[in-house]
Chains A and B, each alone.
Chain A
Amino acid sequence: MDEIRESLLKESKAARRDKFGRAISFSALLLIVVVVVSIFYFVASKGLATFFVNKVNIWDFLTGTKWAPGQVDAHGKAFVGAAPMITGSFLVTFLSALIATPFAIGTAVFMTEISPKRGAKILGPVTELLVGIPSVVYGFIGVSVLVPFMRATFGGSGFGILSGSMVLFVMILPTVTSMTVDTLKAVPRHYRESALALGATRWQMIYKVILRGATPGILTAVVFGMARAFGEALAVQMVVGNAALMPQNLTSPAATLTSVLTQGIGNTVMGSLENNALWSLALILLLMSLVFNTVIRAIAKKGAM
């Protein structure tokens, strides 16, 4: 008989190995998906218990301004108003992004258009290094430099929304900058050359051609920075003051979703309302990170058109 013909009809060692490898690598991928799904499942089931088990009105939760889950009011309802923390989180996020954006764009433009050599040699490596600095280090500097400075300047304790925003600003600046640099670099060379050839000044070229072309990318970078700021826990917790009150001004102690979570989760009993209410805060964090993600995708889709 034809040996080759026979061998073609048998399963080879290679085929068995491939089945094995495919199965193993698929399981690894499946595991990651399972992790993602279970994070959502567990956080959601805990977070929703506040509303379904403890019967807290979701509207009261989102708009109530008093956070004291251990206490009850005259009607026997617990004080689980998350508005102070939600406000705090959004405030620090927007403020830090607001300050960081012009700095990041300015630096990125400087690095790519004004002085590419110095950009590549000094600023580039430094921003890359700073992206990797642990957030607790930013928090530590906030506590030891920024908070005393705020205290001296504005009075009060020095802890508050403004301190939190400043720490987050420095923290997200390297990330937003380096992402903006990537976007600017992606603007085709001939855009620049044709703009300059038409007699535009360098600034006109930057403003009307480069920045306009790079807008989707810059937006992505900013939203990405905001997502980081919104989810950052320890650096903010260290300087924000940790008072679950509606912020009266930017320099009074306040709280964010993450700061209350880091402080509270260890001090409450599993399954109690105090604990469930904290998980509801975690659920808000989770959903917000989904929102940021969706926004980034939407920008990418629009930019691609």
Chain B
Amino acid sequence: MNAKQADKVATIVLYVIAGSVILILAALLGYILIQGVPHLSWHFLTAPATAFTAGGGIGVQLFNSFYLLFITMLISFPIALGAGIYLNEYANQKSRLTGLVRTAIEILSSLPSVVVGLFGFLLFVVQFKLGFSILSGAIALTFFNLPLLTRSVEESLRTIPNLQREAGAALGLSRWETVVHIILPAALPSIVTGIVLSAGRVFGEAAALIYTAGQSAPALNFADWNPFNVSSPLNIMRPAETLAVHIWKINSEGIMPDAAAVSAGASAVLIIAVLLFNFLARYLSNSLYKRLTATK
């Protein structure tokens, strides 16, 4: 076979590979959407789940997923922000200690989420007696989320030119004042993108949650907004099965007759949510950037 023939064969092979990958991915998305979307209805999205009979919904799980996401972000964003600021603005970039800290963060990001979940279980559920609760789950998800979010904050800050820091310094502003009032607002579009993208990841995470937020979804009273009441949706000490955990649960031990349909519907919701997070990230980053440079 000469070079030209080899070139032809290789091109065909590459087309076949790319084609089959597209096929696999399209089949994947198509399957979930075709199986799941017809199952979506207002009832399905709002009704509580049933254990033994068909016709259950995912209302409580859906709420739990969003609420847990919210609490997780509430805890993890300030920490990631602080850590990102220190790493990019204060830390001596050449020192070994900084390198070591960066390595530690990288290791945390590469830990299997099930290990992070087990650690959360051991320390918070058992040792600190928080039980299976939204709080335990949010802490576990925070550990899972921190490395990526920190890195994204750090990278967002890095894109702001040093000229801006020098501008602040030359006016007698401290590094902190410059960062808070000049650098952060300028980095906001990309920080927000990072938050939303990480939210998509947190939203779909299950392994870190099965032993922290728990695998049960007690009925909620959506009329009771006192966070200290047991059945209040806002209570952070209640166990809370999320959508992703629900999909796992009914597929590994579900006994309701329509488990497959419920999983398909729930999977479709998860994927649509991830899609929305992606679009939201793009949209927010664009519109914030426009506002930043607007001439008014």
Contacts and interface: CB of A to CB of B under 8 A. Distances in A.
Contacts of A15: 174
Given A110-B18, A289-B107, A234 B207 contact: yes
Interface stretch (B115-123, B222-230, B231-239, B286-294): B115-123
Given A28-B78, A136-B244, A285-B115, A35 B146 contact: yes
B91 to A, nearest CB: 8
A18 B176 contact: yes
Contact of A134 (B3, B15, B204): B204
A26 B17 contact: no
Contacts of B166: none
Interface residues of B, number: 90
A17 interface: yes
B170 interface: no
Nearest to B14: A110
Contacts, number: 260
Interface in B6-30: 6-7, 10-11, 13-15, 17-18, 20-22, 24-25, 28-29
Interface string A190-210: 000000000011111011000
A248 interface: no
A103 to B, nearest CB: 6
Interface of B is mostly: helix
Contacts of B248: 136, 139, 234, 237-238
Interface stretch (A75-83, A213-221, A260-268): A260-268
A54 interface: no
Interface string A92-115: 000000000011001101110011
Contacts of A72: none
Contact of A140 (B83, B150, B247): B247
Contacts of B11: 114, 202-203
Given A17-B177, A43-B119, A106-B13, A33 B270 contact: no
Interface residues of A, number: 86
A31 interface: yes
A231 B270 CA distance: 21
21 contacts: A21-B177, A25-B83, A28-B82, A28-B83, A29-B101, A43-B115, A123-B18, A129-B274, A132-B200, A136-B247, A136-B251, A141-B267, A200-B3, A201-B6, A202-B11, A232-B112, A234-B248, A262-B114, A282-B114, A285-B114, A290-B107
